[in-house]
A and B are shown apart, each in its own frame.
Chain A
Amino acid sequence: MITGGLDLGAGVIKGVLLEDGRRILATASVPSRGSPVQAARHLLDELGETANIAPGDVDYLCTTGFGRYSIPERNLQVSDFTSSARGAIFLFPKTRLVVDVGTQASRTMSVSETGRVLKFKMNEKCAAGAGRFVERCSKYLQVPLEEMGPKALGSEHPKLISSVCAVLAETEIINNVAEGVPLPDILMGVFLSLSQRAYSLMRYVGIRPEVTLVGGLVRNVGMVKALHDTVGMDVNVAPDAYYAAALGSAILGHSRLLKLAQAPRGTGG
């Protein structure tokens, strides 16, 4: 049984193909510019090619994220909280707190042993707590996005940012550059600022180990280090955690499919 999971995020669309709810066959992502529906269809084709599966062989498609209602082919859609939590538990079964930092929103949820979301908190109103802040810094500091993390690791005295607002922080950061603050210190300051915002969300739902970071920023080593230092405990990270929400929705799609198969005929889905 093959299920597909699509996470239509504000910045990136992520996709996963999953076999029998257990084995990851393919993962892929594409920026969600232009038409998300078209981008998502291309992504599904790409996933199929990687996994060597014809489009018709996907038994069930489950969407999640900001644009989850935009895909007509979907069989099911689930909320980002549910899917991220499920993906995190799949990757790290002892997860009790999930932190998901995305392009436009960051969320955190406490989860039960079975992966059920117990409590959650989200920031979607302010760019300072989301990846958009890092993207903007990348632009005006002229450091490519993928180099920001590794460069930040060279920081010896991180330059903390006093502004809470992403726009006001820009002025502050530019002043820091003008004053000759080393770039790694500025970059680490950006990640620490983001981590502090995540930390206040985390405290709201309650911090319990294990903590698992998922979503767009999990690939960023600077963010991982900053979050670890801010929270003061180990934070689980894995390459596939980038796809946690897509993965989680593929898993949830699989569970739904099993339930449908067991249900008596005629009751429908």
Chain B
Amino acid sequence: MSVVVAGVDIGSTTAKCVVLGEDARILGKSLNVVGVDIVKDAERALEAALADAHLSRSEVSFITGTGYGRYKVYFGQLIVTEISCHARGASFLFPGTRIVVDIGGQDTKAIRINEKGEVVDFAMNDKCAAGTGRFLDVCANALGYDVAEIGPLSLQARRTVKITSTCTVFAESEVTSYVSRGKDPKDILAGLHASIANRTLSLMQRVGVEPEITFTGGVSQNEGMVHALRRRLGAPVNVSPLSQYLGALGAALHGRERLAGGAS
């Protein structure tokens, strides 16, 4: 029996899939934007990752679903919370991880884990867009930028503009008023990133801040955010190009263990 497993992570904004082979090697992965039909998006994520791995569906032994839309992964055999999956995935990439910071499109989590990658404690903000990727989206829009551009631009700031509003809606007005007062958009962007870093730190303090810190989720791909977080923490932060896939990777790893456990 081949041991190919897949993990599908349906987030609020994107669907990710990772296909793992022998020795937990990543054979293929995919990332799609989530639309209205989540069931279809989940299937599309799996198919795209399988195509990337040059495998067919019948070669996959086990599929695990996770994320906000995990209950829509109907073709899976296991469902695991995204918190466990991010913990598992982060621990796999960076074995020294004790705190996982996951900033997604619409929520933020701080997860404390042990050396086995198991969740010890976590804190989450899923009630308010402030401090999430959504905050950056809205503010990037207000400034007329694509969200992908704002991280690098924020790094060119010379004088960070302090954003006083917590609420995303009010921050948006604040941004507009700074623009009309002639502030440099780069300086405003640096302020927005610093504002999220502040929110993140207070969330992390609820579970305790301890090295190593691994930054995951879509927002971890934003280098401006990585910089702001490192600066606010005064400590190194692990990031990987695979950060966005950690949920899916963790799901696949959970599936792999389940399969091994079931066989023994």
Contact B36 A178 (CB under 8 A): yes
* A167 located at the interface, meaning its Cβ lies under 8 Å from any Cβ of chain B in the complex: yes
Closest Cβ of chain B to A226, distance in Å, is 20
B130 to chain A, nearest CB (A): 8
Cβ of A127 within 8 Å of any chain B Cβ, yes or no, is yes
Q: Given A168-B134, A178-B36, A104 and B129 touching (CB < 8 A)?
A: no
In the complex, B235 has a CB within 8 A of chain A = no
Which A residues are in CB contact (< 8 Å) with B138?
167
A67 to B208, CA, bound (A): 41
Asked if B166 contacts A125 (CB within 8 A), the reply is yes
Which of A163, A164, A167, A171 is in CB contact (< 8 Å) with B169?
A167
Say yes or no for A136: interface residue by CB 8 A criterion: yes
Counting contact residues on chain A (CB < 8 A from B), the size range is 10 to 19
- Give the 3 A-B residue pairs with the shortest CB-CB distance, closest first: A127-B169, A167-B129, A167-B168
The B-contacting residues of A in range 128-168, CB under 8 angstroms, are 128, 132-133, 136, 163-168
Question: What 0/1 pattern do residues 119 to 160 of B give for CB contact below 8 A with A?
Answer: 000000001111000110010000000000000000000000
- Answer whether residue B167 sits at the interface, using C-beta atoms and an 8 A cutoff: yes
Neighbouring B residues of A166 by C-beta, 8 Å: 129, 167-169
SS of A interface (majority): helix
Contact A127 B36, beta carbon cutoff 8 Å: no
How far, in whole Å, are A164 and B167 apart by their CA atoms in the complex? 12
Whether B129 lies near A168 (C-beta < 8 A) is yes
Q: A127, B170: Cβ atoms under 8 Å?
A: yes
Q: Decide yes or no whether A126 CB sits under 8 A from chain B.
A: yes
Distance in Å: Cβ of A252 to nearest Cβ of chain B: 29
Q: Which of B143-202 contact A (CB under 8 A)?
A: 165-170, 173
B97: interface (CB < 8 Å): no
Partner of B166, one of A126, A164, A175: A126
**In the complex, what residue of chain B is closest to A166 when comparing beta carbons?**
B169
Q: How large is the interface on B (under 10, 10 to 19, 20 to 34, 35 or more residues)?
A: 10 to 19
Q: Which residues of B contact A132 (CB under 8 A)?
A: 169-170, 173
Residues of A within 8 A of B135 (CB): 167
Q: How far is the CB of B10 from chain A (nearest CB, A)?
A: 15
Would B168 and A165 count as touching, CB distance under 8 A?
Answer: yes
Q: Which residues of B contact A167 (CB under 8 A)?
A: 129, 134-135, 138, 168-169
Expressed in whole angstroms, the Cα–Cα distance for A168 and B134 within the complex equals 8
In the assembly, what is the distance between CA of A165 and CA of B135, in Å? Answer: 11
In the complex, which residue of chain A has the Cβ closest to the Cβ of B166? A125
Q: Is the CB of B129 within 8 A of A165?
A: yes
- The answer to the question of B106 belonging to the interface, with a C-beta cut-off of 8 Å to chain A, is yes
Most buried by A among B12, B106, B166: B106
Identify which of A136, A168, A178 contacts B128 (C-beta below 8 A). A168
Task: Kindly report which residue of chain B lies nearest to residue A164, judged by CB atoms.
Answer: B127
- A132 and B129 alpha carbons, distance in the complex (Å): 15
Judging by beta carbons under 8 Å apart, are B36 and A164 in contact?
Answer: no
Offer 24 A-B interface pairs, CB within 8 angstroms, sorted by A: A125-B165, A125-B167, A125-B170, A126-B128, A126-B166, A127-B167, A127-B168, A127-B169, A128-B167, A132-B173, A133-B169, A165-B127, A165-B128, A165-B129, A165-B130, A165-B168, A166-B169, A167-B135, A167-B168, A167-B169, A168-B128, A168-B134, A171-B106, A178-B36
Q: Which residues of B contact A125 (CB under 8 A)?
A: 165-167, 170
- A214–B168 alpha-carbon span in the complex (Å): 26
Residues of A within 8 A of B127 (CB): 163-165, 168
